[in-house]
A and B are shown apart, each in its own frame.
Chain A
Amino acid sequence: MNCMHELALMQGILDVVTKNAHSYGLRRITKIKLVIGKLRAVVPDSLEFCFTTLKEDIPLIAQGELEVEIKEIEGSCRRCSHQFLVEGYRFRCPQCECTDVDIVSGSELYVDYIEGD
């Protein structure tokens, strides 16, 4: 199940990268930097595997490497505005115990930048 998840995401990533590479006139991608929040339950090794498998068929990306930055989950308390690191998926403010918490970071899923020539 996990691999299918990463496969679908990697297909989306490579679509985004390919489109942008074309519009910026790049002929070779050397690096793709992703930012993914912990809430996304993405397994980096699995993502890397899907990347290696899929890129073989895309000459533009075949030589490229992948860097993944995983973002911790950060919450912001709606009552006291305290910002804190959410550990063990417990969305509870450590300052006032309130459970009404907005997610500030941790659900990211984007291509930060691409490098190429």
Chain B
Amino acid sequence: MQIKLVSSILGVNDTLAAANRELFREKGVFVLNLMSSPGSGKTTILERTIEHLQHQLNIGVIEGDICTARDAERIAQKGVPVVQINTSGACHLDANMIASCLEDLNLDELDLLVVENVGNLVCPAEFDIGEDMKVMVLSVTEGNDKPCKYPLMFRESRALLVNKIDLLPYTNFDMDALEQDVRGINSAIQIFPVSALKDEGVEAWCQWLTQLVRRKREK
């Protein structure tokens, strides 16, 4: 007997993500899903972003890691509410993990919730968590060939932060080739070259982000 299913493998996740999205809409919280490979500088970018924006916006953070609370400890030092999720092996966050930690955050008091996903260029792009937008980080030390190797994440992201630009002189990273490849995959993507360590280019990213957060708040 053959049974036609055509059921999405991510169906359960998508249903939970829709519920998260509705809750975020109700509370007027803008949710950012931050993704990249391990070591590209997501946490440092987040630290700089918080420093730039915490006087204008109430920011909360969910930190996803396979294990340890090191990133959450770094973020907590910035004085913003942070919840750590340890996936104990899973290479991405899913909508259920987000839903189950929301009670530890007071959404009524937040304008912006940043979810720092597990470092991985493949799986996080597959799992909707109910975010308003996906943003990814690529560091120059990873090489400019990544868009063609991992196109889905570049396709799904509204913005790309190219981090560690202070290291450009020491690598063979080709910024023009990168831009061309990324725009070939996603012509609407915003690209922000930054050095989180040196706090270069972060202001432009923060201004763009603030506009989006405000727009959702006004709705």
Q: Which residues does A use to contact B, with CB under 8 Å?
A: 1-2, 4-5, 8-9, 12-13, 15-16, 20, 24, 26, 39-41, 88-92, 99-101, 103, 107, 109-117
Contacts and interface: CB of A to CB of B under 8 A. Distances in A.
Interface stretch (B72-80, B129-137, B184-192, B204-212): B184-192
A45 B166 CA distance: 40
Given A91-B186, A111-B7, 14 more contacts: A1-B120, A4-B120, A12-B13, A15-B12, A16-B9, A20-B7, A109-B9, A109-B126, A110-B5, A111-B6, A113-B5, A114-B3, A114-B5, A115-B2
A89 B122 CA distance: 15
Contacts of B4: 112-113
Given A4-B123, A113-B5, A92 B184 contact: yes
8 contacts: A5-B120, A12-B10, A16-B11, A41-B122, A41-B151, A109-B8, A113-B2, A114-B5
A73 B12 CA distance: 25
B185 to A, nearest CB: 5
Interface SS of chain A: mixed
Interface of B: 1-13, 89-92, 120-123, 126, 147-148, 150-152, 155, 183-188
Contact of B126 (A24, A40, A88, A92): A40
Nearest to A31: B2
Contacts, number: 99
A90 to B, nearest CB: 5
B112 to A, nearest CB: 28
B152 A115 contact: no
A27 to B, nearest CB: 11
Contacts of B1: 24, 26, 115-117
B10 A111 contact: no
Contact of A110 (B6, B92, B121): B6
A109 B3 contact: no
A81 B64 CA distance: 41
A13 B152 CA distance: 20
Contact of B151 (A1, A39, A92, A101): A39
Contacts of A9: 9, 126
B151 A89 contact: yes
Contacts of B152: 39-41, 107
Nearest to A107: B152
B21 to A, nearest CB: 19
Contacts of B186: 91
